[in-house]
Chain A
Amino acid sequence: MTGQVQLLPGTLDILILKAVSLGKLHGYGVLLRIEQISGDALEIQQGALYPALYRLEHRGLIAGEWGTSENNRRARYYRLTAAGRKRLGEETASWNRLVEAIARALAATPAEA
């Protein structure tokens, strides 16, 4: 889609954690939530979401359980664990520091160099 940017490597995990932190979701719901909170600005390969979900579940950052979806079908829902909440906080802080540092660098004028 026009205007969308590709995700940087390693950022899908933090987006999933953020999406799941806002409430229990199945895989498709996670995708929609990410699109919603990012203002549809990010280009995400749909199938690639699942290996990332499984990786986070394997590490204990999210927990999955089977339930019934809105279309009355068996679906796996994911929620954020305490470890995931902690990791989300750490990654968010780290990301914000990085963004601030890069923005500062990019805003430098010749007089500051």
Chain B
Amino acid sequence: MLASWLARVRSLWRGVSRTHGIDADMREEFEHHIELRAADLVRAGVPPAEAERRARVEFGGAHRYTAEGREARGLGWFDSLHFSWLDIKLGARMLVKYPLLTLVSALAMGVAIAIGAAGSTVLSLISTPSLPLYEGDRIVGIQLWDVESQAHERRIARDLASWREMRTLEDVGAFRPAIRNIVTADGGVEVGRGVEMSAAGFRLAHVKPLMGRYLVDDDERPGAPPVVVIGYDVWRAHFAADSAIVGKAALLGDDPHTIVGVMPEGFAFPVHYDLWLPLRINELDYGWREGPGLSSFARLAPGATLAQARAEIETLESRIAHAHPDTHATLRPRVTPFSQSWFRLDSGDAIAVMSAARLILVLLLVVICVNVAILVYARTATRQSELAVRSALGASRARIVTQLFGEALVLAVLGSVVALAIMLGIVSRLDSMLSQELVRWLPFWFRFEVSDTTLAWLLALAVVSAFLIGVIPGLQLTGRRVQLSLQRLAGGHATVRMGRLWTALIVMEVASAVALLPAAVRYATQWIQSTASGPGFPAEQYLSASLSLERSYSTPSAPDDLRARTARFVHTRAELAHRLDVEQEVTAVTFTSATPGSEGGRRIEFDSLTASDSAKRMADSADAVAEGLNPYAAGYYVAPKARFAVVDLSFFATFGIRVLDGRTFIPADSATNVVAVNRSFVDSLLQGQNALGRRIRTVRLEGRETERDPWLEVIGVVEDFPAHPPFDSPRPAIYRIVGAGETGPTTIVLRTRGDPAAFARRLRTIALDVDPELLVREVSPLDAVIRESQLPLEWIALGLAAVTSSVLILSAAGIYALMSVTVTQRRREIGIRVALGASRGRLLWGIFMRAGVQLGAGIAVGIGAAVMLDSIAGGELLGAWSVVILPAVSLVAVCVGIMAAMLPAQRALSIQPTVVLKED
């Protein structure tokens, strides 16, 4: 696809750069054709003159085919613009003549276009209606939406049987995740991203296996031999790319399966899978809305449209609802492009969010381009005489504006080149910027590359930018002003006015920079501090992994038993801990509900509330919810937040966390409701008062109801863990001991003697031995996990820094341009005033007063905006340092303004009265 795009660009470039040569080439080809045809006719006995005449008649109108040929080469639009190569040359000359403007504009536009193109590409990936498979736009997902519970109904086994009878759909199938342990060729254990899928999925995808075969309908038969199809990466990584793998046995857990096929590289249908097992369910064994949870796919039948499929399924489901109102009365069928169904993009909320995101990206570009447009306007304004004379000599307004558009396009293309460089830089670093686990689980149609879509967005945004910075100022300059310019040319009077629009723009730019700077500084500081200071403990000595059990899908007569699975998991976890305790390499083992530093937050309530307070708060919350408000944000329910983790007995000892007050957990605590809290909890939520013996509980708002968990008693205070950087907000945390028989912590952390990464394989082997269905995933040294958890912060910090820098630079450029134009326009006045003895100070103040007022207004508005943003963010942006950050940011803005005004100030002071007066 990229090759096709490049071919088009090359062809377009040839057409634009050799527009007359192209026509000559085409005429030469046509003449050659006619000659050869005439020669054939002569050989057939036709007289030469008659042969040539006949050949020309058979060929048809050469002029018409020349025009069609230009159209076929994509030059139709170019021809209609009366675009000239000279416009591009002039544009390139302008870039060289105004290097500072070029640099500022290209950088600012590059950042804006890169953000716009990258954001739009990601949004396109999410909302794409087509998969990168054969006729991918005809692959759909089928879902049942329950209007009462506002959730998807996944127990669709019985409905599937009906859907297979539809005329507008074919290859109807279903799938469910089946994450399995794979025993590799060298005896290790890896977790395979497995799926149980209908064989129809392979037919639908139209992808031939690399070796062997894919699943067929017969594999789904109960009692059929256990088979598996593996993916390319699994084949290479875990089976040493064995060319004779087909027919060999593979152990999934402790179940042997025969490998019947290997899929080619990149195949991961339906989402992100690399192991395919047959989906063995007999749909008719289930009643309506019974059975396992499934997801469904299908392909539109030849000739059928999405609208027709939707109509047919609605008719079908309404018949089912009529016959079975107790199960289907509240269900509504949905047929959507498969990729959109995966991201649940069929809801109004999702569409609104996507549209808002696109709007924000476009607005960012528009804001930046308007800023650049004003700078270009100031530059173009110095060419008023040239434009006025050209107009007087007969150049049409369209021709002049096309020329200005051409110049702007060169600048916009330069901005796009900068944007492309930024994006290529990001893509090349993407592996290190994204969590590896995240990359593995992304849908297969998510390809982070500079794709056709991205290049198309870059080109589109460049054209839009060129329009904003070239056409709009051009229209303004070539309107009534042209006549005014002609009249004023003789008088040597200034024709450019930097009025209210200019003032508003400078104020807006400075205000934006001042408003964004605190957030940019804060995130950058946080990122730098957390990177430099580290987690505060030797995380590189620890190995962490996530534990879970494979889902076992048995027959309908023995449904999944949650209680039995929980008991099995608890037993397996204990057994695993016992086995690891005796390993020489392992010095400590613990379990926790989340890796340190990434615990989720919960709202909490203290036991100090009286009954009436509690009731009033509950009533207020319900009222807020009824009005559609978020009660927490609206301040009705002032419930503080704290990080919450469920841990085992050895958690504090494993990490060497000091106890500051009270005690840590003992075995008897697992039967009681006790917790430990950290120092930040005591300092920020209890104002340093004694925490021991206090009772707290976690609360949740579920619709209009407030769910409250049982009271928990604080029995100990520990130091903050992980240590948070200085100047950062305190992070209160609560630790609860896991109860007996509770699933609770599913993350295992080991401290090892040597390199923890080297123990990963042994960990998986032991886990497999303890329970073949125990999945050990996300195995990684803890320092790598913590680094990956900071990636979002890095992204935010870099993004904010880029945007804030652009706005700051544009502010400086705007002030510089205003001052330059002012000095140019008032040269004569300045010269006369100097001649009359005006002091330098008063002179400068008189000239720059306006810029000073604009700077001051911008800073004031910016500070107001920063305070507002901070309150929206719950005080996270400024924190306790607002008294320092706000004046510092204002000072930065003033310094930038002064620096931008220095050069024009110097020019003003160097004006010689005698020179200026002679210019009369």
Given contacts A50-B29, A73-B32, 13 further A-B contacts (CB under 8 A): A26-B33, A28-B36, A46-B58, A48-B60, A50-B30, A50-B69, A51-B68, A54-B26, A54-B69, A58-B74, A69-B32, A76-B29, A101-B302
Instruction: Answer yes or no: A57 CB below 8 A from chain B CBs.
Output: yes
Instruction: Answer yes or no: A60 CB below 8 A from chain B CBs.
Output: yes
Mark B1-23 against chain A: 1 for CB-CB distance below 8 A, else 0: 00110111001100000000000
How far is A12 from B334 in the complex, measured between Cα atoms in Å?
39
Instruction: Answer yes or no: B73 CB below 8 A from chain A CBs.
Output: yes
Known contacts being A58-B72, A71-B39, is A27 close to B4, with CB within 8 Å?
no
Contact A50 B65, beta carbon cutoff 8 Å: yes
Instruction: Answer yes or no: A52 CB below 8 A from chain B CBs.
Output: yes
Contact A47 B60, beta carbon cutoff 8 Å: yes
- What residue of chain B has the Cβ atom nearest to residue A31's Cβ? B33
Q: Rank and list the top 5 A-B pairs by shortest CB-CB distance, nearest first.
A: A60-B7, A47-B60, A55-B72, A51-B68, A54-B72
Q: With both chains docked as a complex, state the minimum distance between the C-beta of A33 and any C-beta of chain B, in angstroms.
A: 13
Q: With both chains docked as a complex, state the minimum distance between the C-beta of A108 and any C-beta of chain B, in angstroms.
A: 15
Instruction: Answer yes or no: A96 CB below 8 A from chain B CBs.
Output: no
How far is A97 from B65 in the complex, measured between Cα atoms in Å?
33
Instruction: Answer yes or no: B255 CB below 8 A from chain A CBs.
Output: no
Mark A51-92 against chain B: 1 for CB-CB distance below 8 A, else 0: 110110111100000000101011110000011000000000
Q: With both chains docked as a complex, state the minimum distance between the C-beta of B459 and any C-beta of chain A, in angstroms.
A: 16
Q: Which of these, B11, B12, B39, B65, contacts A48 with CB under 8 Å? A: B65
Instruction: Answer yes or no: B425 CB below 8 A from chain A CBs.
Output: no
How far is A45 from B74 in the complex, measured between Cα atoms in Å?
22
Give chain A residues whose Cβ lies under 8 Å from the Cβ of B8.
58-60
A/B interface sample: 23 pairs, CB < 8 A: A27-B33, A28-B33, A45-B60, A46-B58, A47-B59, A47-B61, A48-B60, A50-B29, A50-B33, A50-B65, A51-B69, A54-B73, A55-B73, A60-B6, A60-B11, A71-B36, A71-B39, A73-B32, A73-B35, A74-B32, A75-B29, A76-B29, A82-B3
Q: Which of these, B4, B26, B35, B62, contacts A60 with CB under 8 Å? A: B4
How far is A47 from B67 in the complex, measured between Cα atoms in Å?
12
How far is A28 from B29 in the complex, measured between Cα atoms in Å?
9
Give chain A residues whose Cβ lies under 8 Å from the Cβ of B69.
50-51, 54
Contact B29 A27, beta carbon cutoff 8 Å: yes
Instruction: Answer yes or no: B71 CB below 8 A from chain A CBs.
Output: yes
How far is A55 from B25 in the complex, measured between Cα atoms in Å?
15
Q: With both chains docked as a complex, state the minimum distance between the C-beta of A64 and any C-beta of chain B, in angstroms.
A: 9
Instruction: Answer yes or no: B37 CB below 8 A from chain A CBs.
Output: yes
How far is A6 from B886 in the complex, measured between Cα atoms in Å?
77
Q: With both chains docked as a complex, state the minimum distance between the C-beta of A62 and any C-beta of chain B, in angstroms.
A: 10
Instruction: Answer yes or no: B386 CB below 8 A from chain A CBs.
Output: no
Contact A76 B25, beta carbon cutoff 8 Å: yes
Size of the B side of the interface (Cβ < 8 Å), in residues, is: 32
Give chain A residues whose Cβ lies under 8 Å from the Cβ of B500.
none
Mark B31-64 against chain A: 1 for CB-CB distance below 8 A, else 0: 0110111010000000000000000001111101
Contact B7 A51, beta carbon cutoff 8 Å: no
Majority SS of interface residues in chain B? Answer: helix
Which residues of A in the span 1-41 have a Cβ within 8 Å of any Cβ on B?
26-28, 31
Which residues of B in the span 260-305 have a Cβ within 8 Å of any Cβ on A?
302
Q: Which of these, B7, B37, B72, B73, contacts A46 with CB under 8 Å? A: B37
How far is A84 from B870 in the complex, measured between Cα atoms in Å?
57
How far is A82 from B8 in the complex, measured between Cα atoms in Å?
15
- What residue of chain B has the Cβ atom nearest to residue A69's Cβ? B32
Known contacts being A60-B4, A60-B7, is A46 close to B71, with CB within 8 Å?
no
Instruction: Answer yes or no: B28 CB below 8 A from chain A CBs.
Output: yes
How far is A75 from B11 in the complex, measured between Cα atoms in Å?
19
Contact B37 A47, beta carbon cutoff 8 Å: no
- What residue of chain A has the Cβ atom nearest to residue B6's Cβ? A60
Give chain A residues whose Cβ lies under 8 Å from the Cβ of B74.
58
Contact A71 B7, beta carbon cutoff 8 Å: no
Known contacts being A58-B74, A71-B35, A73-B32, is A46 close to B4, with CB within 8 Å?
no
Contact B62 A59, beta carbon cutoff 8 Å: no
Give chain B residues whose Cβ lies under 8 Å from the Cβ of A50.
26, 29-30, 33, 65, 68-69
Contact A46 B59, beta carbon cutoff 8 Å: yes
How far is A74 from B33 in the complex, measured between Cα atoms in Å?
11
Contact B3 A83, beta carbon cutoff 8 Å: yes
Contact B58 A58, beta carbon cutoff 8 Å: no
How far is A74 from B32 in the complex, measured between Cα atoms in Å?
8
Known contacts being A45-B60, A58-B72, A60-B6, is A51 close to B65, with CB within 8 Å?
yes
Known contacts being A28-B33, A60-B6, is A74 close to B60, with CB within 8 Å?
no
Mark B66-80 against chain A: 1 for CB-CB distance below 8 A, else 0: 001101111000000
Q: With both chains docked as a complex, state the minimum distance between the C-beta of B16 and any C-beta of chain A, in angstroms.
A: 13
- What residue of chain A has the Cβ atom nearest to residue B302's Cβ? A101
Among B7, B61, B71, find the residue whose CB has the most chain A CB atoms closer than 10 A: B7
Contact A59 B7, beta carbon cutoff 8 Å: yes
Give chain A residues whose Cβ lies under 8 Å from the Cβ of B72.
51-52, 54-55, 58
Give chain B residues whose Cβ lies under 8 Å from the Cβ of A47.
30, 59-62, 64-65
How far is A74 from B37 in the complex, measured between Cα atoms in Å?
16
How far is A50 from B63 in the complex, measured between Cα atoms in Å?
12
How far is A27 from B12 in the complex, measured between Cα atoms in Å?
21
Among B3, B62, B65, find the residue whose CB has the most chain A CB atoms closer than 10 A: B65
Contact A58 B32, beta carbon cutoff 8 Å: no
Contact B58 A74, beta carbon cutoff 8 Å: no
- What residue of chain B has the Cβ atom nearest to residue A74's Cβ? B28
Give chain B residues whose Cβ lies under 8 Å from the Cβ of A45.
60
How far is A66 from B32 in the complex, measured between Cα atoms in Å?
12
Contact A46 B35, beta carbon cutoff 8 Å: no
Which residues of B in the span 647-687 have a Cβ within 8 Å of any Cβ on A?
none
Give chain B residues whose Cβ lies under 8 Å from the Cβ of A73.
32, 35
Give chain B residues whose Cβ lies under 8 Å from the Cβ of A69.
32, 36
Q: With both chains docked as a complex, state the minimum distance between the C-beta of A56 and any C-beta of chain B, in angstroms.
A: 9
Q: With both chains docked as a complex, state the minimum distance between the C-beta of A107 and any C-beta of chain B, in angstroms.
A: 17
Known contacts being A46-B58, A47-B61, A58-B74, is A83 close to B4, with CB within 8 Å?
yes
Which residues of B in the span 562-576 have a Cβ within 8 Å of any Cβ on A?
none
Contact B60 A58, beta carbon cutoff 8 Å: no
Give chain B residues whose Cβ lies under 8 Å from the Cβ of A59.
4, 7-8
How far is A100 from B227 in the complex, measured between Cα atoms in Å?
34
How far is A83 from B8 in the complex, measured between Cα atoms in Å?
13
How far is A101 from B170 in the complex, measured between Cα atoms in Å?
15
How far is A82 from B59 in the complex, measured between Cα atoms in Å?
30
Give chain B residues whose Cβ lies under 8 Å from the Cβ of A27.
29, 32-33
How far is A4 from B29 in the complex, measured between Cα atoms in Å?
26
How far is A51 from B72 in the complex, measured between Cα atoms in Å?
6
Give chain A residues whose Cβ lies under 8 Å from the Cβ of B4.
59-60, 83
Give chain A residues whose Cβ lies under 8 Å from the Cβ of B33.
26-28, 31, 46, 50
Among A26, A50, A74, A75, find the residue whose CB has the most chain B CB atoms closer than 10 A: A50
Q: With both chains docked as a complex, state the minimum distance between the C-beta of B137 and any C-beta of chain A, in angstroms.
A: 14
Contact A28 B32, beta carbon cutoff 8 Å: yes
